[in-house]
A = this chain, B = another copy of it.
Amino acid sequence: MEDNKFSYKYPHPAVATDCVIFGFDGNSLEVLLIERGLEPYRGRWAFPGGFVKIDESCEEGAVRELQEETGLVNPYIEQFHTFSEPGRDPRERVITIAYYALVCKQDVKGGDDATKAQWFKLNDVPQLAFDHDLILRVALNRLREKIHFEPIGFELLPDKFTMRQLQQLYEAILEVQFDRGNFAKKMLHYNILNQLDESVWPTPKREAKLYSFNIENYNDMKRKGYRMEF
């Protein structure tokens, strides 16, 4: 095989990244999937991802793939697990470093048109290619654990949001119901929200205040050793 220019003394697996992209539509948590155009698993949905280049870190690779396929720049991204079962890819031994990204759906323009991308509500996700069903389960667990103690939820919302939107986001991720008053009280108590002068009519009823995330106060809080918890 003349094409195989890269030789090693011992067998090397291929190394890829996959990225679970979470978004929020106001009611449900969603993930962005891509329909595979090539074998294997042609026609099945999968997470965006690809092979890591030899001179980039895995995180750089994941960010690069993300931008190529969704147009996202500077996304919130976090590594959560590496999947390495032999046989998880029928072509050759591939291990994949999996990331999840939290994006505000408005920011996703859709990448190059060759790839067919689509948002799926968590309950509507079809059977996925490779071991991506497993990857999704692990990603969800990690997201739920993380949001208990870090204000990562804000990455899924626009810059300005109402208290109800924030509550619905937490309820969608954690699959619980919060008391309206207590949620607002607790959230405001952490002092990580700016209350803006503006307001909106999120429903046909009464207008609601708008808030933004105050990252400086949050960093102060962390520096002083406080933890938030939800």
Contact = CB atoms under 8 A, between A and B. Distances in A.
A38 interface: no
Contacts of A85: 57
A56 B88 CA distance: 12
A4 B15 contact: no
A58 B9 contact: no
Interface string A119-157: 000000000000000000000000000000000000000
Interface string A1-44: 10111111111111100000000000000000000000000000
B54 A11 contact: yes
Chain copies in the assembled complex: 2
B14 A4 contact: no
Interface of A: 1, 3-15, 51-52, 54-59, 79, 81-82, 84-86, 93, 95, 97
17 contacts: A1-B7, A3-B9, A4-B7, A5-B7, A6-B9, A7-B8, A11-B54, A12-B14, A13-B15, A15-B15, A15-B95, A52-B84, A57-B84, A58-B84, A59-B84, A79-B82, A95-B97
The 7 closest A-B CB pairs, nearest first, are A4-B7, A12-B12, A58-B84, A11-B54, A7-B7, A82-B82, A6-B11
